[in-house]
Structures are given as structure tokens and as C-alpha cells.
Amino acid sequence: METRGAAPSYPALVGSGLVVNAGQEVAKRVRCPRCAVISDTNIAPLLADRVKQSLTSSGFRSTLITISAGEKSKTLEQAGAICDQMIDAGFDRQSFVIGLGGGVVGDLSGFVAAIFHRGIPHVQIPTTLLAMVDSSIGGKTGVNTAAGKNLIGAIHHPVLVIDDVDVLKTLPQREFNQGFAEIIKHAIISDAEMFAALKDVDLENLAPLIRRNVEIKSRIIAKDESDRTGERAILNFGHTVGHAIERAGDYQEFLHGEAIGLGIVAACDVSIKRAGLLRDQRNGIVDLLRRFELPTHLPPNFPREKIFEAMPFDKKFESGEVRFVVTPRIGSAHLSSDVTMEDIREAVD
Ligand SMILES: NC(=O)c1ccc[n+]([C@@H]2O[C@H](COP(=O)([O-])OP(=O)(O)OC[C@H]3O[C@@H](n4cnc5c(N)ncnc54)[C@H](O)[C@@H]3O)[C@@H](O)[C@H]2O)c1
Ligand SMILES: [Zn+2]
């Protein structure tokens, strides 16, 4: 089944058993004969052979490039090293890139595809729930620098996204759960029906849920392709405080989705005060986060001051003015400029 993505429209295939047919699907959309499959040290041993075999049987020549697993690999140096490897291996304009992995591989491989010979096609095969419902959609690619995350990058949409739910079976539980933070976020900002259905979600049959989340993110992005008008900003619900918590924990204490879970709770408390969110709805959100084992309270000894120190660097604090995403009720969200630092302090406390 195909889900039409944002303009420029590209298909996101969601289903079971798709990896072994990746070559066939790619062949329908990509004419280039050579492919760099970029993956990481955890995923390559699990999946790379199957993807490469499938590419070979569809007539592609592929080269596997494996990076160390983890956020530390998302650097300009790593992107440069991959480009050099591709040049040494004889890749040219008639090549394309497949990112086989989580958000780290997706962002890095997409960035390589954006800059190699000024842009070659990118195919995403996301292998984490977070990457399927979030990072593989929208075309944002990039790397981190010493000064912060995702500061260098490009918008480069994939030509195809292949979400094979079978690959999620090997995903560690914590990684799986963190994907639900973004799913719950999508529900809060734009889909009350999905929110209600989430408490009975069938974990054995995730394709419909993933498809729905791809649609939600694509729809929001289609309204604000280049991230300029502010519509896309509602996707940052829970992220202002969430990012600051991530940074305050030196990116060690919490996974992204876990920090976002906490950020969502803070954003709900701000929303009660500034947007009229009902306390019952806020409590329903907290219950749902708990159901997926996401934290909803900061540990007592967590350095709270560091959260606020981390805040002014956040992209959303444009020119010192806080623009905060609030939800007046589940299924809806908007930007508010009424929110003060004091509101955020109260929510964090
Ligand atoms: N481009 C965007 O719009 C966007 C949006 C959200 C997040 N991101 C980025 O995504 C990244 C986080 O993505 P992530 O959470 O997927 O992290 P990740 O890519 O580091 O993957 C998490 C861990 O799971 C392992 N793994 C992945 N798939 C597996 C599988 N199927 N089986 C076993 N292990 C597996 C990985 O090797 C890694 O150790 C961050 O860099 C973030 O900035 C980008
Ligand atoms: Zn996020």
C-alpha cells in the first residue's frame, strides 16, 4: 500500500516483507545503476545482505558503507569520509544512496545524497519506529557540530521510503518505546481519533499506525515545505523543553523520545495555563506516555538549572522571544507568543 507523501510527492511503502523486495521497488523509481548502501554497525549485520541481494537481482550494483552506530557518527567529517569512499569507488552522478538504519543513518545518508555531485537520489529504509514515523519524512537531512545538533544540513527529499515493520522485531525495547513519544505528539497536535485508539494499539500489526503517522507528518509539512510559515512548527510540540532536557542530560540520560515525553508533559502544563487545555486531557496524555514506559517526571536529582541554561540556544527562541507550541485540546495545536519563561519554569518544577 502506498501513502502519498508531501509535495514533492514521493511514496512511502508501509508493510511486511518489503526489505527483500527493495530492489524491485527502487527500480520503479530510480534509473541510476550504482548504489551506496549506508548503514551502521548494528543494522548492517542484520539487514545489509538482504538489501544488497535484492538490489543485485534488480540489476543494481551496490557498495555497503558501514558507520559506527550512534549519534557520534552524525558529523561533517563522517559525511566527508563517505563522499571520499564513494569517489574512490568510482561513484558519479549516475549513482544513488540508500540509508538503511535509524534516524542517524537517515539524516547522514540523506545529507550525503544532498551534496554528492550536488545531489543524487536518496532512498530511505528506516529501521527504527522513530525513523519510520518521523525522521524519514519531510526531507530534513544533516549533521551535528560541536555547537549543537543538526546545525548543518539540507532539505533533500527521498525518492522513496520503505517502512518494513518486520525489521522492528530486533529493535531494543527502549528504542521502540521512544518512537511512541513522536506518535503521541502527532496524535495530540492533529488526530484526536488516533489518540483515543492508541491505548488499545495492536503491537503485532503496526503498519496502519505507521501509515497514519506518515500521513500526519506529510500533511503538516506539505503546508510549509521549507519550514518558513510556522505551520511546520507545531511538529515541535514538546520539543522546546524536551530538547533542553536532552541537552541538560548531556544526551546520555534520556533518549530523544524520552526527553520529548517529558517535554510533552511540560507543554501540557503550559497549555492548561495558556491555552485552556483541560486537566483531564492532560492526565490522559500522561497516562498514555506511561503506557509506553516513557518518563513523565524528571528524576529528583536531575540538574534542573541546566535545562534553562540549555534553553536560549533552542531554535524556537527566535530573537529572544519564546514561541511555544500549545494545545488547547487533544487533536489541535498552535504557536503561542504569550508563553513566558516563568510559565516554563513552573511546568518544569
Ligand atoms: N530529519 C528529521 O526530521 C529528524 C526528526 C527526528 C529525529 N531526527 C534524528 O534522528 C536521530 C535519532 O534517530 P533514531 O532514534 O532512529 O536513532 P539511531 O539511528 O541512533 O538508532 C537507535 C539505535 O538503534 C539501533 N537500531 C536501529 N534499527 C535497529 C533494528 N531494526 N534492530 C536493532 N537495532 C537497531 C541503531 O544502531 C542505534 O544503536 C537523531 O540524530 C535525530 O536528530 C531527525
Ligand atoms: Zn522529536
Determine whether the shortest distance from the Cβ of 42 to ligand 1 is under 6 A.
yes
**Closest Cα partner for 327 from 136, 156, 187, 166?**
187
Contact call for residues 5 and 161 (beta carbons, < 8 A): yes
340 or 194, which is more confident? 194
Asked if the model's pLDDT at residue 318 lies above 80, the reply is no
> Is the N-terminal amide bond of 8 cis, ω within 30° of 0?
yes
pLDDT recorded at residue 319? 54
Contact call for residues 59 and 27 (beta carbons, < 8 A): yes
5 or 334, which is more confident? 334
Contacts of 88 (CB under 8 A, 6+ apart): none
Best of 111, 128, 247, 254 for a ligand 1 pocket test (most atoms within 8 Å of beta carbon): 128
| 258 CA → ligand 1 middle, Å | 13
Best of 38, 39, 42 for a ligand 1 pocket test (most atoms within 8 Å of beta carbon): 42
Q: Looking at residues 165-178, what average pLDDT do you find?
A: 98
Asked if the model's pLDDT at residue 1 lies above 50, the reply is no
| 319 CA → ligand 1 middle, Å | 31
DSSP strand pairing (140-145 vs 148-155): antiparallel
Distance of alpha carbon 209 from alpha carbon 232, whole angstroms: 21
Contacts of 196 (CB under 8 A, 6+ apart): none
Inter-helix orientation angle 256-275/239-248, to 10°: 140
Nearest atom within ligand 1 for CA of residue 110: 1
List, for residues 271-317, the tens digit of each pLDDT value: 999 999 999 999 999 999 999 999 999 999 999 889 988 876 455 45
Asked if the model's pLDDT at residue 115 lies above 90, the reply is yes
Share of residues in the chain with pLDDT > 90 (%): 83
Question: Hey, how many other C-beta atoms are within 10 angstroms of the C-beta on 279?
Answer: 10
- Show the CA angle centred on residue 52, arms to residues 46 and 57, nearest 5°: 135
pLDDT recorded at residue 335? 92
Burial 33-59 (b: 16+ CB within 10 A, else e): ebbbbbbbebbbeebbebbbebbeebe
pLDDT recorded at residue 317? 52
Q: Coil, helix or strand for 3?
A: strand
Burial of 81 (0-12, 13-18, 19+ CB in 10 A): middle
Q: Is the pTM of this model over 0.75?
A: yes
Contact call for residues 210 and 132 (beta carbons, < 8 A): yes
Distance of alpha carbon 294 from alpha carbon 262, whole angstroms: 8
pLDDT recorded at residue 5? 46
Determine whether the shortest distance from the Cβ of 142 to ligand 1 is under 6 A.
no
Ligand nearest to the CA of 133: 1
Q: Looking at residues 98-115, what average pLDDT do you find?
A: 98
Asked if the model's pLDDT at residue 338 lies above 90, the reply is no
Helix, strand, coil fractions of the chain, as percent rounded to 5:
50, 20, 30
